[in-house]
Amino acid sequence: MGKSKANSLGAKTWSSIVIFGLVGQIAWVLENMYFNIFMDRTVTRDPVAIWVMVAASAVVATLFTLLAGIFSDKRGRRKKLISIGYIIWGVTVMIFAAISVENTMKLFKMEQSKAIGFTVAIIVIMDCIMSALGSTANDAAFNAWITDITDETNRGSTDAVLAIMPLLATGVIFGAFDWMTQDTWRYLDGTEGTAWKEGATLVANGNWVMFFLIIGGLVSLAGVIGLFLVKDSKDLKPNKEISYKDIIYGFKPSVMKDNKNLYFAYLAAAISGIANNTFMPYIIIYIERTLGIANYILAIAIVGGLAAVGSVVLGVLYDKYGRRKFIIPMFITYIAGAVLTVFASPISFKNVSTPLWSFAITGFLLMFATLGLSSIIAASIRDWTPVDKVGLFQGVRLSFMVLIPMVIGPIFTVIITRLGTPAGVDQFGEPLYNYPPQMFALAAAVQLVNLPIILKLRKALKENLM
């Protein structure tokens, strides 16, 4: 298949892609990173609590993406699911403003030790509800809409832009809202600061109420804008032949056999996702506590900003020269970046805080390769998704890109973290753990397992001249 002349998406379509891509990722960054921080700073430092939350939300998100994908294909509509979904999604975020150990103690008349576990359960349940709505609006409807409106001539650049949205979203939250999440600690010498140190006493938690209300309102506002901005593809038609019995359609051996390239791409996404999830849920806590870099905002800004710029450049190159030429270099860069990041840590810098420049260099290599590899796989999945069953396959896509990675990936790091010695105790007197740099070695090891699949994927891309 030769290269065709690129189709222009137009300003209105690009505006929709950017608004919903960015705001959706702001909500997902909140869910994937800041819920972890919220749990860690206000409820419990136990890494198991974060893993349970991550895994449970992944299961719920996948189920609802499967159901919503079928619904949108049957109806031949994505716009309302996107817009109304974002509105309600934002409301669920705002509800988190009312969750705290203190409120649980007051509402259920519990002592603190029981209230901690009960609050963990409340957060997990609410996270599942939020994930159900977010997966319906974003993973099922929005991602299917992206596939509807793009083709092989512009998917490289489109997915490259979408690939940087998590980093841009992280930058928005860090730059505008992170100060609301900062705890205030009093140290042994009587001074105060926002970073935990051994022996520190908690003075006050951050303003999480304002944090959740503002971000939830932003997500709902995007949904309102979508009612006027988003337009379904003219080629999208209702598919009455699809039924909810087809929820297992994408998992049938016959379907897999007929779409081998698609499932190679799914498998590559799953293994890469497991590698990424050995460190991503814990990255902010790792930078702050393990590395001793108090200004983690600057660290993430440098790493994320440079990686985002590199990813956009890669997207242009993908469309111009073909993705197949870049998949192996991105794979090698990922392994190198992960291994080097292991040593940009207290392993090399003993008895002192890890220098920001050290983590910035290795972190950039790892994140740049993560984005580059992810966008190749994502664009390939769109290319090989059957055009008449785009919504139906969104749940299958999420099973490989979210469910499997988020259930399996974090547990590896939980195990090696809990095997370590606690760094101290939190405000509730419970053990406080530092996440180890060896989690990046786990990422490299898991990604190496992906090599045979990456080679098969490269061959498939070459045969299709993509």
Percentage, residues of the chain above pLDDT 70: 96
pLDDT at 237 over 90: no
pLDDT at 435: 92
pLDDT at 378: 87
pLDDT at 132 over 50: yes
pLDDT at 5 over 60: no
pLDDT at 2 over 50: no
Domains and CATH numbers, the chain: 11-233+247-463 (1.20.1250.20)
Q: Name 309's Cβ contacts closer than 8 Å, sequence gap at least 6.
A: none
Q: Nearest CA to 290 among 349, 346, 343, 337?
A: 346
Mean pLDDT of the chain: 88
Q: What is the pTM of this model?
A: 0.78
pLDDT at 310 over 50: yes
Q: Cα(104)–Cα(96) distance, rounded to whole angstroms?
A: 13
Weakest mean pLDDT among 290-294, 316-320, 353-357, 370-374 = 316-320
pLDDT at 194 over 80: no
Q: Nearest CA to 165 among 304, 11, 54?
A: 304
Q: Cα(223)–Cα(457) distance, rounded to whole angstroms?
A: 36
Weakest mean pLDDT among 236-245, 342-351, 378-387, 449-458 = 236-245
How sure is the predictor about 466, in pLDDT bands with cuts at 50, 70 and 90?
Answer: low
Weakest mean pLDDT among 23-32, 189-198, 205-214, 316-325 = 189-198
pLDDT at 336: 97
Q: What integer is the mean pLDDT of 224-234?
A: 89
pLDDT at 411 over 80: yes
pLDDT at 4 over 70: no
Tens of pLDDT along 253-298?
999 999 999 999 999 999 999 999 999 989 988 998 899 887 788 8
Q: Which is more confidently placed, 132 or 5?
A: 132
Two tokens at 112?
């603190």
Q: Name 19's Cβ contacts closer than 8 Å, sequence gap at least 6.
A: 222, 225, 226, 229
Percentage, residues of the chain above pLDDT 90: 47
pLDDT at 465: 57
Tens of pLDDT along 38-87?
999 899 888 899 999 999 999 998 889 888 888 888 888 889 999 999 99
Where residue 345 falls (left for φ over 0; alpha for ψ -120 to 50; beta otherwise) is beta
pLDDT at 1: 43
Q: What integer is the mean pLDDT of 330-334?
A: 96
Q: What integer is the mean pLDDT of 177-194?
A: 85
* Contact (Cβ atoms closer than 8 angstroms) between residue 327 and residue 376: yes
∠ CA 385-386-391, nearest 5°, is 75
Question: Could you tell me the CA-to-CA distances from 11 to 7, 143, 271, 272 in Å, in that order?
Answer: 13, 19, 35, 33
pLDDT at 15 over 70: yes
Chain center to CA of 391: 20
pLDDT at 209 over 90: yes
Q: Cα(163)–Cα(17) distance, rounded to whole angstroms?
A: 12
HSE at residue 75, side-chain half, CA atoms within 13 A, is 13
Question: Could you tell me the CA-to-CA distances from 255 to 135, 183, 233, 248, 390 in Å, in that order?
Answer: 23, 51, 26, 10, 14
Number of neighbouring beta carbons within 10 Å of residue 347? 12
Two tokens at 241?
């032949």
State the alpha helices, DSSP H only, in 385-403: 394-398
Q: Cα(264)–Cα(269) distance, rounded to whole angstroms?
A: 9
Q: Which is more confidently placed, 322 or 410?
A: 410
pLDDT at 127: 96
pLDDT at 217 over 50: yes
pLDDT at 240: 78
